[in-house]
Structures are given as structure tokens and as C-alpha cells.
Copies of this chain bind each other. A is one copy, B any other.
């Protein structure tokens, strides 16, 4: 996204919101949606459009607060263990909890404290004060009192109280109506098979769902091609019945300009460009008409679309209902790694959270506006404000929560090299018990061991070969974590590493020796990745200088990124695992079989959080499933090697 596009400004979010509201007011947009009368039973989730005053007291009569007998307190005076008082059958009445108090009686004695004599008298061994166990008229609600203010979003207890106070209908705000207009020549409806260059309209699906979650009704129009006249017409038509129109641009900036121009043509363009990333090229304005309709143009990148809805559309919709905006809870967390941020924009960073050693640790996820999975996987959102350059590793930061802290506390945090078997394990754990989550972040084997050293994860996934000894994992554990007897290592799996090649292996590669072929385009893994160490080892033992491998300096950070580069024809080969080849329909030339290990503190090994994982690794059905993936052996799965 352009840092300072000549066409798009960088208005701070709060200022943009203010400008939008002012433009809406100037265009005659209603401040609130109209009020409607609904039966109390259907009012949950809606917002009160007037205060609710009690018409009736509740309870509406004095009643017994216990099962027992109704008495006159004055007649019990003097009763003790040694001098009980006897009440004749005419001097009391049996009552159950909730029964109206019989006239003339002013207290209740619990049945457990009453001895009934054979002739029907009641023997009391203690005096009772007036009004004991009597539930007073109006104890809960007094007629004429204020039950709920205007602008209150009704919960189940609220409607029950309103009904108890005599309400059968409530005046609430109509749900705001949101219309989503997808635009773009390359956009295709969800459910169709997109051709190369085409993109499925997942944004409309998401934005309509966000609107419904915000308590609105939502409709999506057919996709409008990249034609300003057609978009203007669609906008004008949608504005007639909508309380908010969302124009979804394709991801092209040419399109963003359409949106701004279209909004200007149809009414008022208040804002084009905000100091928020992702989400920068948002458009805010109002459509002219008898009453005016707010419009937001959200960028086509899915993270931008989702966040700009949250930041701008959601507060506007709350205001239309006259309700306080919904809030996400927040917590403080320690940042797992350094976080750089560009000065001048609020940076919305998605983070994974886990509780490690008693504190919440936040690991930033990929930052791209197009990486929707960064929102899917996020446990929280961290805003680096416009004036801050970023945070150091270990810094305490405030995080808005997208998952509950309890759930986060039940999450096994794995950082390091990533392997598909971790995904399979995560999925199986969850199927066994929805409270068990295994979250893994990919930073390479070496990065994982460093994260473990710094107390940022429970498990580090590692497959690092020590070329000197030919041994895996353990030498690096000593090197990075010290000669620490408090470290345990459990073998997860053995897996095949090999060369990923285009389908049919068009260059006929047979192994490492072929990598020196002139003109071959190799794609490498980053330093610290186990696969990189393996390649270096394989080259070294053949006496091949890395400089002879064309493409050696070109680094990708995951097996899948290597596979993607080959699938896209940007490279001829790279080292990776069979699962990565399969993901992109590539062929695979095996090179070596290596162990993949889980490294942890011994205290974690015995933690009940991990117990379900150790049980899972022993299960034959799990091991069979893993071996069926291809390229894996479970011969040593679950074995503690240190």
C-alpha cells in the first residue's frame, strides 16, 4: 500500500470519524434509525428508544419468602428453647414460598423450625421479628421507577424485568439496514470456480456477516463491474432503503479512485485515506437524497475490509441505534519479538496469545493486508499508535482480545519450525476436547529454540542437524539453552526432505548434485531453518560451494513459500518436505530422512496442559493417519530422547 500516495490522504482515524459524522449530518442523514414497537419476547438484542419506567410493582403483593407458617410476630414474643410458645390452629396459616401473606399475618417461620403438636398446634422455640421471611411488595421493582434508560441494548434479564414491570411491548430502534455493493471486473461470486486472475467475492460475505453481528440486517447486491456510472447508479439505488452502504472496491487503487469519485458524484466525499494500516485507502462520505445515507468504501484487501468495518462502520451503526459501541475486552501481554511500525499510521497488528510461565505472551502474525488468515488465527489485536515506532521484544503491550483469556490459557504454544503433523495434532486435540488448542507459529528451528530460551513458548519444533556430529537437535539445545538439565526433547516424527520440482520433473533432477547445473533457479530457506542447515550439510559433504548454486541467496521462510515459488514458475527447485510438494501439486525427489523434535522445559513436560498431547502421540490411529500423509514415519513418535 502506498506510504504517501499523491491521491490518498493520511487523516488520523478519530479525525476521519468526526469528519464523516459531520458530512452525514450536513447531508441530512438521520441521527438515529426510527423507533418501532415490538413484543417484549422479541426485543432481546435491540436498543431501547425511550426509557422504560415500571408500570407495576414486582412482586405485586407481600408474599411468603419461605415454606412454613405465617404468624403474628407479636404473638411469638417470649418464645425460647425452654419456654416455647404454642399457637392454636387459628393463630397461624401454612404457607409455601411465593404464597400471598394471609391478611393480618406479618411474619413467616420456616417449617424446619416449627414443631406441630398432635392436636394441630404449632410450637415455636424462638420469637420472630415482624416481617421475617416476608417478601415485600415492590421488593424487586417499584411502580414508576426507572427500569432501563434509553439507548440500552436489551439482554434476557432486561426483557424479563420489563415484563415483570408490566410491559408487553417495548419501543426499540429498528435494526439498521446495511447494503453491501461488491465491485470489480475480476470479482466472482462465492461458489463459482475462479479462473486465473479472478477473485472470489469473500469480502461481501464477511462484511454482511459483520453487519449482522453488529445487530443489523444486511443485503448484498450483485457484483458491479468497474464502471463509475454503473457503480454510481448502484450506490444511489442502494441508498434509498439503506441506513449504511458499504462499497467494496477490488484491490486495485484505480478502483479506490472510482469509489472516491463515485461517492463525490453521488453526494459528499468526506474522507479518502486514513492513517490506519491495514485499511489506509478507506473512503467515507454520504449519498445525497431526501434524507442522506452514509457510505463507506472499504479497500478490497480482506484484512483492510474487516478492520475498516470495525473501526468506522461499527461505531456509526451503534450510534444509529443510539447505543454505546460494543467493546472488546483487553489484556496486557509481553511481546514475543521486536515489532517495527511506520510512524504516521495506527498499525493494527494481529497477534497470537498464549500463557507461558504465568504470563500472557503475544506473537505478531503476518502483517499483510491480504493475509486474512492472520485475522483468523489472531487471538488479539495490538494497535501501535501513529506516533510510536514500534516495540522491543519483551515490551508490555495492551492487546484487544478476540478469544477469551481462559481459552488462551488452555493453549499449547509452539514456536519454531512448522510441520503439518503439528496441524494434524492440533485438529485431533480439539476434536477430543474443544478446550484443547495447539497454536504453532513458524519462525524456523533456531528461532524456536531462542523463543523457548526466552520463555515465550511451551514447545519449540526443531529439526536441526549438527554437521559436525551428524546428530539432530541435541547439540543445538546445548548451544542455545546451555547445559540445562531442565530441558526435555520428545521426538514427534521422522520425515523425508527432498527437492520440490514442477509436475513431471521437467528438468529431470535426481538430487543435490544437480543443483550446480548452469541456469537452474534454486529457491532457498532462510538462515536458521533446519532445511537450510540440511542443504548446507549435503552441499558440504559433496564439496559443493554454495556459490555454485544459482539462487542460493534467495530466501523464503516456509516450505510452502518455496513450493509456491516453484508452482508459480519463479523457481525450478528448492528443498522441502513431501507435504509441501503435495499442497501445490509438485513432484518430489527424496534427499534425506530427518527427525522432527519437540523441545521444552521439563516442568512443561509434566504440565497437565500437555498431557493430552502426549496421550495423542501414543494413539495408533493418530500415527496411522500421519503415515498416510506420505513422507512420514512414526517409528519413534512420542519417544523422549532427552
Which among B63, B150, B210, B252 is the interface contact of A431 at CB below 8 angstroms? B150
A66, A138, A300 pick with most chain B CB within 10 angstroms: A138
Cα distance, A163 to B570, chains bound together (Å): 27
Residues of B within 8 A of A213 (CB): 44, 155-156
Q: Are B329 and A157 in contact (CB under 8 A)?
A: no
Q: Are A431 and B564 in contact (CB under 8 A)?
A: no
Which stretch, A117-125, A194-202, A508-516, touches the partner chain B?
Answer: A194-202
User: Given A146-B426, A197-B100, A251-B98, A156 and B434 touching (CB < 8 A)?
Assistant: no
Q: Are B41 and A140 in contact (CB under 8 A)?
A: no
Residues of B within 8 A of A431 (CB): 51, 149-151, 322
How many whole Å from A149's CB to the nearest CB in chain B?
Answer: 4
A140, A212, A410, A435 pick with most chain B CB within 10 angstroms: A140
How many whole Å from A69's CB to the nearest CB in chain B?
Answer: 14
How many whole Å from A380's CB to the nearest CB in chain B?
Answer: 12
Cα distance, A195 to B319, chains bound together (Å): 41
Q: Are A376 and B148 in contact (CB under 8 A)?
A: yes
Q: Are A561 and B136 in contact (CB under 8 A)?
A: yes
Cα distance, A205 to B59, chains bound together (Å): 17
User: Given A157-B375, A164-B372, A376-B157, A67 and B323 touching (CB < 8 A)?
Assistant: no
Which among B168, B205, B206 is the interface contact of A190 at CB below 8 angstroms? B168
Cα distance, A73 to B323, chains bound together (Å): 53
* A474 interface residue per 8 A CB criterion: no
A residues 423-464 touching B (CB-CB < 8 Å):
423-424, 426-427, 429-431, 434-435, 437
A residues 558-572 touching B (CB-CB < 8 Å):
560-561, 563-565, 567-570
How many whole Å from A191's CB to the nearest CB in chain B?
Answer: 5
How many whole Å from A457's CB to the nearest CB in chain B?
Answer: 19
Cα distance, A636 to B255, chains bound together (Å): 61
A residues 114-161 touching B (CB-CB < 8 Å):
130-131, 135-152, 155-161
Which among B51, B98, B199, B407 is the interface contact of A300 at CB below 8 angstroms? B98
Q: Are A203 and B370 in contact (CB under 8 A)?
A: no
Q: Are B405 and A209 in contact (CB under 8 A)?
A: no
Which among B136, B199, B406, B424 is the interface contact of A565 at CB below 8 angstroms? B136
How many whole Å from A345's CB to the nearest CB in chain B?
Answer: 17
Closest to A45 in B: B213
Q: Are A570 and B112 in contact (CB under 8 A)?
A: no
* A302 interface residue per 8 A CB criterion: yes
* A480 interface residue per 8 A CB criterion: no
* A110 interface residue per 8 A CB criterion: yes
Cα distance, A554 to B74, chains bound together (Å): 13
How many whole Å from A313's CB to the nearest CB in chain B?
Answer: 12
Closest to A560 in B: B142
A residues 298-331 touching B (CB-CB < 8 Å):
300, 302, 306, 318-319, 322-324, 326-327, 329-330
Q: Are B149 and A372 in contact (CB under 8 A)?
A: no
Residues of B within 8 A of A164 (CB): 200, 202, 302, 372
A residues 71-123 touching B (CB-CB < 8 Å):
96-100, 103, 106, 110, 112
Per-residue CB proximity of A43-74 to B under 8 Å, as 1/0?
01000000100000111111101110000000
* A18 interface residue per 8 A CB criterion: no
Q: Are B151 and A430 in contact (CB under 8 A)?
A: yes
Closest to A157 in B: B375
How many whole Å from A425's CB to the nearest CB in chain B?
Answer: 10
Q: Are B404 and A326 in contact (CB under 8 A)?
A: yes
Number of identical protomers: 2
Q: Are B564 and A156 in contact (CB under 8 A)?
A: no
How many whole Å from A92's CB to the nearest CB in chain B?
Answer: 17
Q: Are B97 and A251 in contact (CB under 8 A)?
A: yes
Q: Are A196 and B110 in contact (CB under 8 A)?
A: no
* A584 interface residue per 8 A CB criterion: yes
How many whole Å from A459's CB to the nearest CB in chain B?
Answer: 17
Which among B139, B163, B318 is the interface contact of A200 at CB below 8 angstroms? B163
Residues of B within 8 A of A627 (CB): none
User: Given A62-B570, A254-B67, A205 and B163 touching (CB < 8 A)?
Assistant: yes
Residues of B within 8 A of A224 (CB): none
How many whole Å from A294's CB to the nearest CB in chain B?
Answer: 17
How many whole Å from A74's CB to the nearest CB in chain B?
Answer: 12
Cα distance, A252 to B147, chains bound together (Å): 26
Cα distance, A354 to B531, chains bound together (Å): 56
Closest to A255 in B: B96
* A13 interface residue per 8 A CB criterion: no
User: Given A401-B329, A564-B142, A190 and B131 touching (CB < 8 A)?
Assistant: no
* A582 interface residue per 8 A CB criterion: yes
Q: Are A430 and B149 in contact (CB under 8 A)?
A: yes
Which among B61, B160, B370 is the interface contact of A205 at CB below 8 angstroms? B160
Cα distance, A97 to B5, chains bound together (Å): 13
* A-B contact sample (13 more), CB < 8 A, given A62-B570, A96-B252, A156-B213: A1-B66, A67-B252, A130-B554, A138-B563, A142-B563, A145-B423, A149-B429, A149-B430, A150-B434, A157-B206, A159-B205, A163-B205, A324-B407
26 contacts between A and B (CB under 8 A): A5-B112, A40-B205, A41-B205, A59-B199, A60-B196, A62-B570, A67-B253, A96-B254, A98-B251, A131-B570, A138-B584, A140-B372, A140-B373, A143-B584, A144-B582, A146-B420, A149-B430, A149-B437, A151-B431, A155-B213, A157-B302, A160-B372, A161-B373, A164-B372, A168-B190, A324-B435
